Amino acid sequence: MLRVVVRGSNRYYEEKTKTLFLMFQRLSLTVFSFLSVALASFAALANDSIDAVIEKVRTPSYDCPNQSLFPELEDTLALESLTSQQRFALTVAKGQFLICRGKYEEAETMLLKAIMQSNIDESSYAFASAIYQIGFSYDARENPARCKYYQQAQELSSPERHSDIFTSSSLGLINYCSETTSPEIRLGKMFGVLKRYSNDGSPGELAHIHNAIGLLYGDLEQHALAAEQYLKAHEMGLLVYEGSNKVSILISAIVSLLSSGQTDKAYQSILELGVLNSEIDTPLTNFLYQYALSIYYRKTQNYNRLTYTLPDLEKASSSISSSFGELLVNWHKAEICLHDNDLTCIKQYISGIEALNDDAIPPVFRSNLDYLSFNVSMYIALQDLAKAKEAHEIYSKEVTKRREVTQDSALIIGAANLYTRIYDLESAIEQAEQQRKNTLYTAIVIFLLVSGITGYVLRRKHLARKAIDPVTLLLNANSAIARINKLDAPKKGRAIAIAIFDISNLREITRKMGSTKGDLVLRQIAQTLQNVTRGNDILGRFGTEQFILCLHNIEERSARQFFDRVQNALDNTFENDATSDHIVVESQMSVFIANEKITGLNDILDDIAMSIDMGNRSGDN
């Protein structure tokens, strides 16, 4: 019995233990499942929260993000639970914050490192945005590398996919990466972009496009038109832009207004910029405000106010670590030194500039007429005539370049046509509901085109008349010199040959022919020169008694023989004239021959004229 009882008890406890174990196992599985679901739910919530931050800080390429979101962005970036793509997207968003604060180099370094990662989705918006931002950071410092990144950003986007990046990169390519494309084509491309967005584009997109058109007008030296486009872009941008982007276009408008001589309107815009800066109050907007004040006071030659403003500009420049700002401050300080005739200060400034590498001086300084003129004035003040002459040549070349751009009729007509088209599109945007006026708009366009063509023809005739000497009907001195300056370098083994013929006995000939026939004498001499020269030779009246002749792509020996024949014909101008009583023209000839493109033509002509004068004096003696 006893054994039976014991056996029965062991089986009971075994069964009981087994039951309890199974219950514990099921409970453990239930708890584990619950915790797994809870953790997964928490991770999903955390992931959704991170994605929400990414979406919140994401800003179109043509705008600046809300700076108040920056702390939240930094906190999110510090999380260890981020996926590689989330961290990349947040890093790209941070780059846009830095760019809008003027910290281009910091943003560029960070973004270049970010895009080198191997596990990034290159089809994502973040990747396309990173590429565009790198291009923009190069653009801000006028680095040609911008074109490579603008091109890549355009290829990564389309009008339907990442459209803001496509628009921004397209505008960048049109404005800065079309050096080999004619201005007419660039204008046509810009017109195409505006047309694409004219009906349903947002204010931000339209502001971006008007800003780009302003840049194109600026390239054509049409600063008044550029200012008008910048101000339109500014008005549209105020509706949507955040932070420093509210003032970035306005500063461009101010510079264009000052360049076109509209100082009063520029000052009103500066006052508006001051109000916006007090609201936004970032290091970049402070710098832009002080920058606007300083160039306004320099342009208006208010050196007392410029002196008062410079410490604020210097402080604002250092706060954004701007090398451009530092150069600007030093230039304006030197302007004040020049005004005060502080020669020691000027010498110190020149020593500092000469110590810099060529790359340290941005292109915007090298092409700024005010800066180039200031350099001439500095060396004149120091009585360094050699340096003053060198600086003046640089200034003159830039002036000539600007004049050619301004006077090129094709560019002007292209700009006028674009302005007409933009005006029509803007009217269509503002009054889309008034379709009945389309006929009127078409008539206006036709009228403007006809007026433009008529004006072009009249202007060409006017310029042609201005280029001709009214007495001899040859080119006048300025026109002849301008044409010679445009000649390309001669081919190998050939030369550019210039001769000046001086009629030493012109007064005697006029006296013999009759004092009232001075113009007739000159016309006969001019006709003789025309008869012996070729159609592609440059022939003009150089002075009261002088004529200039230029031969291009000619062998040196042939040029000298040709000039001798011309002088011989000139001396015998009146040989067959029965009324001239055997009048012989006495001429002096001085020749200059170059085997390369001619530079410093004015100095060369001065030397030629001087040699003729010395020859005349020795002949008189």
Question: Which structure tokens are listed for 129?
Answer: 């945005």
Between 132-136, 200-204, 438-442, 535-539, the lowest mean confidence (pLDDT) is in 438-442
What per-residue confidence (pLDDT) applies to 3? 32
Distance, C-alpha 189 to centroid of its chain: 17
Query: Is residue 6's pLDDT more than 50?
Result: no
Phi, psi of 541, rounded to the nearest 5 degrees: -90, 125
Task: Identify the domain boundary among 162, 177, 192.
Answer: 177
What per-residue confidence (pLDDT) applies to 253? 92
Query: Is residue 185's pLDDT more than 60?
Result: yes
Cα–Cα distance, 255 to 260 (Å, whole number): 9
Are 529 and 598 found together in one domain?
Answer: yes
Question: How many CA atoms are closer than 13 Å to the CA of 280, on its beta-carbon side?
Answer: 29
What per-residue confidence (pLDDT) applies to 41? 42
CA distances from 529 to 91, 190, 265, 535 (A): 74, 49, 54, 12
Cα–Cα distance, 270 to 129 (Å, whole number): 32
What per-residue confidence (pLDDT) applies to 22? 56
Which residues touch 158 (CB under 8 Å, ≥6 apart)? 166
Are 159 and 253 found together in one domain?
Answer: no
**Selected residue with higher pLDDT from 175 and 278:** 278
Domain assignment of residue 327, yes or no: no
What per-residue confidence (pLDDT) applies to 10? 47
pLDDT in tens, 306-326: 999 999 988 888 887 777 788
Classify strands 587-594 and 495-503 as parallel, antiparallel or unpaired. Answer: antiparallel
Question: Which structure tokens are listed for 119?
Answer: 């596990």
What per-residue confidence (pLDDT) applies to 293? 92
Query: Is residue 433's pLDDT more than 60?
Result: no
Task: Identify the domain boundary among 143, 177, 211.
Answer: 177
Are 547 and 449 found together in one domain?
Answer: no
Are 100 and 132 found together in one domain?
Answer: yes
Domain assignment of residue 499, yes or no: yes
What per-residue confidence (pLDDT) applies to 88? 92
By the 8 A CB rule, do 227 and 457 touch?
no
Cα–Cα distance, 22 to 24 (Å, whole number): 5
Domain assignment of residue 549, yes or no: yes
Query: Is residue 37's pLDDT more than 50?
Result: no
Task: Return the sign of the alpha-carbon dihedral for residues 476, 481, 486, 487.
Answer: positive
Are 483 and 534 found together in one domain?
Answer: yes
Q: Which long-range contacts (CB under 8 A, 24 or more apart) does 15-21 make?
A: none
What pLDDT band is residue 236 in, cutting at 50, 70 and 90? Answer: confident
Domain assignment of residue 264, yes or no: yes
Task: Identify the domain boundary among 467, 490, 508.
Answer: 467
Between 99-108, 385-394, 410-419, 437-446, the lowest mean confidence (pLDDT) is in 410-419
Are 521 and 559 found together in one domain?
Answer: yes
Q: Considering its fold, how many domains does the chain have in total?
A: 5
Are 416 and 481 found together in one domain?
Answer: no
Are 483 and 463 found together in one domain?
Answer: no
Task: Give the number of other CB atoms < 10 A from CB of residue 102.
Answer: 26
Helix H or strand E segment including 554: strand 546-554
Query: Is residue 31's pLDDT more than 60?
Result: no
Which residues touch 402 (CB under 8 Å, ≥6 apart)? 221, 369
Distance, C-alpha 129 to centroid of its chain: 23
Query: Is residue 458's pLDDT more than 80?
Result: no
Are 616 and 482 found together in one domain?
Answer: yes
Question: How many CA atoms are closer than 13 Å to the CA of 101, on its beta-carbon side?
Answer: 21
Q: What is the mean predicted confidence (pLDDT) over 253-268?
A: 91
What pLDDT band is residue 131 in, cutting at 50, 70 and 90? Answer: very high
What per-residue confidence (pLDDT) applies to 549? 92
DSSP 500: E
Q: Residue 138: which domain range?
A: 58-177
Helix H or strand E segment including 587: strand 587-594
Domain assignment of residue 218, yes or no: yes
Give me the CATH number covering residue 172. 1.25.40
What per-residue confidence (pLDDT) applies to 543? 80
Cα–Cα distance, 529 to 569 (Å, whole number): 8
Domain assignment of residue 328, yes or no: no
Per this entry, what is the length of the chain? Answer: 621
Query: Is residue 108's pLDDT more than 60?
Result: yes
**For every residue of 315-380, which 3-state class applies, written as one string?**
HHHHHCCCHHHHHHHHHHHHHHHHHCCCHHHHHHHHHHHHCCCHHHCCHHHHCCHHHHHHHHHHHH
Are 548 and 589 found together in one domain?
Answer: yes
CA distances from 327 to 119, 220, 394, 395, 591 (A): 42, 26, 19, 19, 46
pTM of the entire predicted model: 0.52
Are 39 and 71 found together in one domain?
Answer: no
Cα–Cα distance, 65 to 60 (Å, whole number): 8
Average pLDDT value for the chain:
79
pLDDT in tens, 319-370: 877 777 888 888 888 889 988 889 999 889 888 888 877 776 777 777 888 8
Domain assignment of residue 96, yes or no: yes
Q: What is the dihedral of CA 254, 257, 263, 268, to 10 degrees?
A: -50
For the purposes of burial, counting CB atoms within 10 Å of the CB of 43, is it exposed (0-12), middle (13-18) or buried (19 or more)? Answer: exposed
Give me the CATH number covering residue 521. 3.30.70.270
Q: Order of strands, edge to edge, in the sheet holding 495-503?
A: 538-541, 546-554, 495-503, 587-594
Between 185-194, 244-253, 568-577, the lowest mean confidence (pLDDT) is in 185-194
Domain assignment of residue 543, yes or no: yes
Letter string b/e over residues 258-275, b meaning 16 or more CB atoms within 10 A of that residue's CB = bbbebeebbbebbebbee
Are 157 and 70 found together in one domain?
Answer: yes
CA-nearest of 334, 340, 339 to 301 is 339
